[in-house]
Structure 1
């Protein structure tokens, strides 16, 4: 009996060690922008054929290898994740002078558009777009701003099935917001020497209630907390556009009939939970198809929060994506529930003229 038990244990251990996992099944690559700049890119592959693809846009002073279980969780559910380190961030930085050197908003959105255009286009494979923090604000500008390449190149734009944002930068929370004097002085410098760098560290203690995760960020050399005055001003301007978008009237933004998912911790003191609430409410009143999930007490990094919060966040994201994929099943609280797939929503009038400039 003991010999048989040892044999079974050995067999199971061998199978476990040899079995492919979502985390192990990754592929690094390079995305070359039209101007010739190479950006680090990475794909989290599914074991079998994917049921959907998610393109992900990371946040300020972050990089695509710092999202813990989010990408492996989605890959294990059949959702292939494709992402990259943006210009000025992560492994796309080749020298210290590159840190935070994103260029203006027009360049930021052009880079995102270029990456999205590089993804394989298959009408039978739903495509989702997701952004976190600064990346969330970039995604919203990419979808809604009239001068975004998504709206200027309507015959050559990605065909999304849905858009997800969490802790998106619409406004900085008052507890982390720079003074008006600092912002005004920064704008002057941005016009005179746009590429001048500024060390702008986040309060790491506000990133997560998980102290181990906070220590990990502080030790991560790729999280350099450095922006250029031009890049920092652009980040604020993108938020200003989003805050005033609906009040400016229907001609100020391009309508979208895509379904949107928002997630935000009400304890976030980096990006404003209240501003996101206001945005979602105004978008809903304007006819938007929106789902908003609040995570009680949670801080900024929902993917690296206390285990119970992150577990719920991962389950919510996975369930919402799969609910939009025809013929899939969604596991919710250990119960399997069939979900009817929804047709890809039609896009809004992409030729509407916006007033804000990028």
Structure 2
């Protein structure tokens, strides 16, 4: 008799979010001894999905954290699952207002499901930009009561400014279409190589998996793309002024990030009126001996080479542990 396959380190569920919209979700319970230290609400990037980050989430759970993650509208199984997706779903159909509203709903959900645990947002790439926007919105979303539930924010290569800006003509076409035809499909291919080198990770297996991933598509929608780029730029330009001074923040970048600019990220960090902030850029590690790769870490720190993924995990867990019980969890 064949041995039974080990159970996955997570539970998956289709949950109805705002307006009863179905979302694909995963929860990784803490597998460390003792009670969990905190819960991380993970926000994936553009053209991304939570299944790609299973290894990172499982490792965080082994270190005593609960991880909750959901495929956002327009992406992953939430958009592409033929049996469970909403009839109004389409790949890339999203906008920043909807993303913030959805995130507020999930923060409230996590607070109820894991009552008493401090909640930290962890956003990657454009999901990092969303996490930063969540703390600086001037509209009624999120409410002050929801924001008070957050004990800290972790962002990984957040989108503030693209490293390589799109051509002026394409940028203005996107802006115009976003206002008159928000769901108009636009090419949004993410070139995984530049001059033969990966733009996401120095690991060739990661590059291969990105190219072959059936849930990554070479297009988006006009409004989804415009909001992602323009709202990141607004944060870098003036939105930093709205940061809540008492909300802790840590920004992680690969020093050789070819997607989102670590230089602009550090400039944003320097201006933030935040009492508890850290900026971490992973530079050359002594164990990197390959020739045809950049010396410094790239965009996807969780899946880079050498000791970068473990350094990222260690730094993240340590940062959360130091802040997990500093501020009271709102009722």
| Structure 1 residue 167 corresponds to structure 2 residue 153 | no
Which residue number corresponds to residue 312 of structure 2? 313
Equivalents in 2 of 1:187, 1:141: separation in Å?
A: 19
CA deviations on 1:306-352 (whole Å, 9 max, x unpaired) are 032112111111211122235xxxxxxxxxxxxxxxx11799xxxxx
Equivalents in 1 of 2:222, 2:239: separation in Å?
A: 28
Structure 1's unaligned 5+ residue stretches are 1-13, 327-342, 348-358
Distance 1:108 1:144, change over 3 A: same
- Checking the alignment, whether the CA contact within 8 Å between 2:124 and 2:156 is kept in structure 1 is yes
Distance 1:37 1:68, change over 3 A: closer
**Matching of residues 265-280 of structure 1 within 5 Å:** 265-280=254-269
Which residue number corresponds to residue 47 of structure 2? 61
Between the two proteins, the alignment pairs up a number of residues equal to: 302
Aligned Cα root-mean-square deviation (Å): 2.4
What stretches of structure 1 move > 3 A for 4+ residues in a row? 94-97, 120-124, 155-158
Which residue number corresponds to residue 77 of structure 1? 63
Distance 1:167 1:229, change over 3 A: same
- Checking the alignment, whether the CA contact within 8 Å between 1:257 and 1:345 is kept in structure 2 is no
TM-score, length of structure 1 as denominator length: 0.79
CA deviations on 1:28-69 (whole Å, 9 max, x unpaired) are 012312222211111111235422110010001110111143
- Checking the alignment, whether the CA contact within 8 Å between 1:146 and 1:254 is kept in structure 2 is no
- Checking the alignment, whether the CA contact within 8 Å between 1:141 and 1:148 is kept in structure 2 is no
CA deviations on 1:221-272 (whole Å, 9 max, x unpaired) are 112232100100111121122111268xx5xx25241111111011001101
Structure 2's unaligned 5+ residue stretches are 83-87, 193-197, 284-295
- Checking the alignment, whether the CA contact within 8 Å between 2:251 and 2:278 is kept in structure 1 is yes
Rg comparison, structure with higher value: 1
Equivalents in 2 of 1:346, 1:259: separation in Å?
A: 14
Equivalents in 1 of 2:280, 2:243: separation in Å?
A: 24
Which residue number corresponds to residue 190 of structure 1? 178
Task: Tell me which of 268, 276, 279 is aligned to 1:289.
Answer: 276
Equivalents in 2 of 1:300, 1:51: separation in Å?
A: 28
Task: Tell me which of 1, 13, 25 is aligned to 1:41.
Answer: 25
- How far did 1:203 drift? 1.7
**Matching of residues 1-358 of structure 1 within 5 Å:** 24-47=8-31, 49-94=35-80, 98-102=90-94, 104-121=95-112, 124-147=116-139, 149-150=141-142, 153-157=143-147, 159-174=149-164, 177-204=165-192, 205-245=198-238, 250=241, 253-283=242-272, 286-296=273-283, 297-326=296-325, 343-344=326-327
Distance 1:35 1:211, change over 3 A: same
